[in-house]
Amino acid sequence: MRAVRISRPGSYDVLELVERPTPSPGPDDLLVRVEAAGVNRADCMQRQGTYPTPPGVDWGDVPGLEVAGEVVAVGPAVSEFVVGDRVFGLIEQGGYAEYALIDRGLALPIPEQWTSIEAAGAIEAAATANETVFTIGGLTNGEVILIHAAGSGVGTTAVQMAVAAGARVIASAGSKGKLERLCALGAALSINYKEQDFASEVRRFTGDGAHLILDFIGPDTLARNLAALRRTGRLVLAGQLGSPTCVFDPAAVIGGRLAILGFTLRPQSLTEKRAIVERLRERWLPSFESGRIRPILHRSFPLTEAAAAHQLMETNATFGKIVLEIG
């Protein structure tokens, strides 16, 4: 089968097309003929050598953490799916390939109205959004959430989920076009972080601050995030795209009884990931199937143009997901 590997750490041009043996399913695996694979920021970081694969993961040079396609074989312990089923799911590695293995607990049926391209960009974003906004963040009906990088794959999904849950959404992004599209998804307020002080805008809009903030930037926005929270508010950090360290006054946390929480999906154990996918299935699969929550796709590329997909992602000009078309 064809696969795209990282030949060495570096820029997007280190991705190369190679031939690899088709994997064989273990007892709990689905072997999927991959029709499309999601492209994630973690793939770019892995390519750059700053986000290594977990210990013991095979094919550490083939990126790709989510795929969609058709089941062509199953392991002996699999009863949830059969050959011919259309599924999308999380994988440890190796999504940029014509075949991939998905653990039976990390796969979901593709909603009938979704294409494989849409499904390929859905589960990583949806699982992260559900865990950060609801499982960890505890967002409830009527609360206010500020979502940074809201034009990203996770961001556009989190906006839709929060709106569906009855929350008021404030979305932060860096261009007029993105802000307009976020309002179309249901955001009550959109903020251009390049031109406006988001903490002041949140305070102006709410009076006393947001109940929850979802942030992918990290240290560079920490102090302002704390200033944008109301008393007993929660800040969930799900990324670190800025500086590695920061200085802030802990008095804001202590005096405001604020909570700072963290999450990242990839290092979770298989048991934890199965639980994450099950929570996603229970709460949101019906909304996927009804069309209330839908994947937002920016652009798709053929597998042979994986380098171009990475180059585009690194411009930060996308709205929604980038996907590789394979099958």
CB pairs under 8 A, 24+ apart, for 220-227?
A: 220/246, 221/148, 222/246, 222/248, 223/248, 223/249, 223/252, 224/197, 224/198, 224/199, 225/146, 225/199, 226/252, 226/253, 226/256, 226/258, 227/199, 227/203, 227/252
Residue 158 contacts residue 129 (beta carbons within 8 Å): yes
Of 220, 247, 262, the position where a domain reaches its end is 262
Clarify whether residues 49 and 117 are in a common domain. Answer: yes
**Which residues are paired to 90 by β-bridges?**
66
pLDDT digits (tens, 9 = 90+) for 21-77: 999 999 999 999 999 999 999 999 999 988 777 666 666 799 999 999 999 999 999
239-278 b/e (C-beta count within 10 Å ≥ 16 → b): bebeeeeeeeeeeeeeebebbbeebebbebeeeebbebbe
Answer whether residue 242 shows pLDDT above 80: no
For residue 171, the model assigns a pLDDT of 98
Clarify whether residues 275 and 182 are in a common domain. Answer: no
Clarify whether residues 243 and 293 are in a common domain. Answer: no
Continuous segment of H or E residues that includes residue 310: helix 306-313
For residue 327, the model assigns a pLDDT of 77
**CA distances to 46, 258, 296, 310 from 39, in Å:** 12, 34, 13, 8
Mean pLDDT of the chain: 95
pLDDT digits (tens, 9 = 90+) for 107-161: 999 999 999 999 999 999 999 999 999 999 999 999 999 999 999 999 999 999 9
Residue 211 contacts residue 231 (beta carbons within 8 Å): no
Clarify whether residues 62 and 180 are in a common domain. Answer: no
E strands present in 92-208: 99-103, 107-109, 144-147, 168-173, 189-192
Distance between CA atoms of 287 and 250, rounded to whole angstroms?
A: 40
Clarify whether residues 309 and 242 are in a common domain. Answer: no
* Mean of pLDDT values over 3-12: 95
Distance between CA atoms of 243 and 298, rounded to whole angstroms?
A: 27
Of 262, 282, 303, the position where a domain reaches its end is 262
For residue 57, the model assigns a pLDDT of 63
User: Any idea which residue has 């298989």 for tokens?
Assistant: 270
For residue 119, the model assigns a pLDDT of 98
Considering the entire predicted model, what is its pTM? Answer: 0.95
For residue 59, the model assigns a pLDDT of 60
For residue 60, the model assigns a pLDDT of 75
Clarify whether residues 116 and 228 are in a common domain. Answer: no
Clarify whether residues 251 and 212 are in a common domain. Answer: yes
For residue 55, the model assigns a pLDDT of 66
**CA distances to 21, 100, 110 from 72, in Å:** 15, 10, 15
For the chain, the domain total comes to 2
Two tokens at 290?
A: 């009804």
Q: In sequence order, which residues have a C-beta less than 8 Å from that of residue 191 and are 6 or more positions away?
A: 170, 171, 172, 173, 179, 198, 201, 202
Tally the residues of the chain.
327
pLDDT digits (tens, 9 = 90+) for 21-37: 999 999 999 999 999 99
Q: In sequence order, which residues have a C-beta less than 8 Å from that of residue 305 and are 6 or more positions away?
A: 324
Identify the three-state secondary structure at position 188: coil
For residue 50, the model assigns a pLDDT of 85
Clarify whether residues 132 and 245 are in a common domain. Answer: yes
* Mean of pLDDT values over 288-303: 96
Clarify whether residues 62 and 23 are in a common domain. Answer: yes
**CA distances to 14, 124, 191, 275, 297 from 271, in Å:** 33, 16, 38, 6, 29
Two tokens at 234?
A: 């929660």
Clarify whether residues 177 and 257 are in a common domain. Answer: yes
For residue 21, the model assigns a pLDDT of 96
Of 237, 262, 287, the position where a domain reaches its end is 262
* Mean of pLDDT values over 185-211: 96
For residue 224, the model assigns a pLDDT of 93
User: What percentage of residues in the chain have a pLDDT greater than 90?
Assistant: 88
Domain that holds residue 26: 2-122+266-325
CATH number of the structural domain spanning residue 176: 3.90.180.10
Clarify whether residues 246 and 280 are in a common domain. Answer: no
For residue 58, the model assigns a pLDDT of 61
* Mean of pLDDT values over 195-199: 95
Clarify whether residues 143 and 173 are in a common domain. Answer: yes
The secondary structure of residue 134, as a DSSP letter, is: I
For residue 56, the model assigns a pLDDT of 63
Tell me whether strands 168-173 and 144-147 are parallel, antiparallel or unpaired: parallel
